[in-house]
Amino acid sequence: MTEWWRGGVIYQVYPRSFQDTNGDGIGDLPGIIDRLDYIQSLGVDCIWLSPINRSPQADMGYDVSDYQDVDPLFGSLEDFDSLLEQAHRRGLKIIMDQVISHTSDHHPWFQESRLNRTNSKADWYVWADPLPDGTPPNNWPAVFGGRAWEWNPTRGQYYLHNFLTAQPDLNFHNPAVQQAVLDVLRFWLERGIDGFRLDTVNYYFHDKLLRSNPPSTKPEHLPYAVNPYDMQEHRYSKSQPENLDFLRRVRALLDEYPGSTSVGEVGDSHRSVELMAEYTSGGDTLHMCYGFDFLGPEYDAGHFRSRIEKFFRVGPDGWPCWSFSNHDVIRHVTRWASFSEDPQALARQAAALVLSLRGSVCLYQGEELGLGETELLFEELTDPRGIRFWPEDKGRDGCRTPMPWEEGPAPNGFTTGTPWLPVKAAHSALNVARQDADPNSTLSFYRQVLHWRKDHPVLATGDITFLETPEPILAFQRTDGDATMLCLFNLSARPTQMTLDGLGTSTPDPISTGATLANGTLSLAPNAYAFIPLPAPI
């Protein structure tokens, strides 16, 4: 089935924090192999591996120094081949992170490029002369703080880095760079990978004229952003129109390998949904994209409805991949805590919601346990963003702590050594072994709802139509031919009711929780959800 990805469920593994087998406190590929039966038991279709390429680890692997090797922290190419083989044997696909908008400053390409202005890689990165007063060529900021330009005295120029100074940006306006990147993708496709998650996919191209970005509009009564990056509209530093033609080249390559797929990460606060639709439309661009619209603090019906309706209005033949948590954001059980008095009830409702939306789904390791954000001390941090902006922004370490596998004291079977980030008491109590033995646990529910989704194909690929309902009720129906499923959610910590006409003798599916239907009135307990199969659209 070449379109397995359409409506498929992807499980993100953060290798550092999944399972360590050699006692160094860092997860590895053999550890993932050891846990494949667990992943298979969830009922997902695919594993997304966060970066495993060779790297100095300045940004936890998102600074690649060798695209065609595995970092020794995680194992070897032979370990990768074994993981791929054993995952495929279990019916699991594997996609891997490809971080190609930038490299590490240790990469041989950059080491050559920085030497002078005449070498064979001189134009492989984004270099610019200073202004007459010695300052950078424009006002572009870096995501992790400071200017996006770093001075190189050897060339007498600045180079662009959208993230850390150790992550110089590749120059995609150079056809040789595009071809080199495509050759990297082909290397892994030839090895048998099932596709790629493309990091920061809208950052590939920059404005050739290096025009300064305009300020972002800010209501006068609001304080300045914690990070100056959020004070600009990034009109020229990313999301350029040239990106589409390169994405078509990526798709053409993937089409040579039937069944392979692509998921693009779109980071753009001003027009994320539009770019997601644009980058997946036409059948000759990416297969899927995700943005950060559902990775923020909003948890209300109007927000979910507006984002989903806009995506399919802008790109009716595009395809989204929705997620509520990943390695870059505060875990959603913590992020949305004010909408529930029971974190595990919120975790189950969120699972039921994301798995019933039109599109594909990405789940982040540990969310099936109901894990919240880990509170860390400053001295425990490793994330450069958190170290720079503490305490207003504590960075991303709190969502990256190790998986708790076994009963007992921390680190709960993750490692026999000292874990790279601590496992604290709240996560220890939610370990896999304990939840595995409890049919009423969040883990048991995730397995149940994932298998239930497979039994109802309408949820994977059916059309979606929203009903007019007041907050905090989100209601929509999924329709595919004669199959129709009515999906309703109380996105709050208080009970609520709504009237449903024309349901006849229909009753909520047993997967529903906290919902009762009597005489046309649906009663929803706090964080309740109801799925009602219908013979035809109402």
User: In the predicted model, is pLDDT for residue 235 greater than 70?
Assistant: yes
CA 90 centroid distance within chain: 24
Establish whether 199 is a catalytic residue.
yes
List, for residues 40-81, the tens digit of each pLDDT value: 999 999 999 999 999 999 999 999 999 999 999 999 999 999
Q: Do 117 and 155 touch, CB atoms closer than 8 A?
A: yes
Q: What mean pLDDT is reported for the chain?
A: 96
Q: Which is the catalytic residue, given 59, 63, 199, 293? A: 199
Res 502 pLDDT > 80: no
For residue 57, give the 3-state DSSP assignment. Answer: coil
Using H for helix, E for strand and C for coil, what is the string for 13-46?
Answer: ECHHHCCCCCCCCCCCHHHHHHCHHHHHHHCCCE
User: Which of 12-26, 452-466, 482-496, 523-537 is predicted with the least confidence, judged by mean pLDDT?
Assistant: 523-537
* Residue 256 designated active-site: yes
Residue 519: its pLDDT value, please?
86
Is 306 buried (19+), middle (13-18) or exposed (0-12) by CB count in 10 A? middle
> Stretch 80-92: mean pLDDT, rounded?
98
Predicted local confidence at residue 436, as pLDDT: 98
Residue 504 has a pLDDT of 66
Lowest mean pLDDT among 304-308, 375-379, 517-521: 517-521
Give the model's pLDDT for residue 269.
77
Q: What is the pLDDT of residue 222?
A: 63
Position 526 scores a pLDDT of 98
Q: What is the pLDDT of residue 503?
A: 75
**pLDDT tens digits, 410-424:** 999 999 999 999 999
Distance of CA 472 to the CA centre of its chain: 26
Confidence check: pLDDT of 333 > 80: yes
Return the pLDDT at 217. 83
pLDDT at res. 224: 76
Helix (H, G, I), strand (E, B) or coil at 428: helix
Predicted local distance difference test score (pLDDT) of residue 448: 98
Question: Of the listed 133, 256, 468, 501, which one is catalytic?
Answer: 256
Confidence (pLDDT) at 536? 57
Which secondary-structure segment (H or E) carries 490? strand 483-490
pLDDT digits 0-9 by tens, 98-156: 999 999 999 999 999 999 999 999 999 999 999 999 999 999 999 999 999 999 999 99
Q: Judge whether residue 18 has pLDDT over 80.
A: yes
Structural domains of the chain ordered from first start? 9-103+174-454 (3.20.20.80), 464-534 (2.60.40.1180)
Distances (CA, A) of 432 to 12, 44, 371, 438, 511: 17, 17, 11, 10, 22
Task: Using CA atoms of 514, 520, 521, 525 in order, give the dihedral in degrees to the nearest 10.
Answer: 10
- Alpha-carbon distance of 43 to 9, in angstroms, equals 8
CA–CA gap between residue 94 and residue 515 (Å, rounded): 37
Task: Provide the pLDDT confidence category of residue 2 given band limits of 50, 70 and 90.
Answer: confident
pLDDT band at 178; cut points 50, 70, 90: very high
What is the predicted pLDDT for the residue at 1? 67
Read off the pLDDT of each residue in 18-37 and give the average, rounded to a whole number. 98
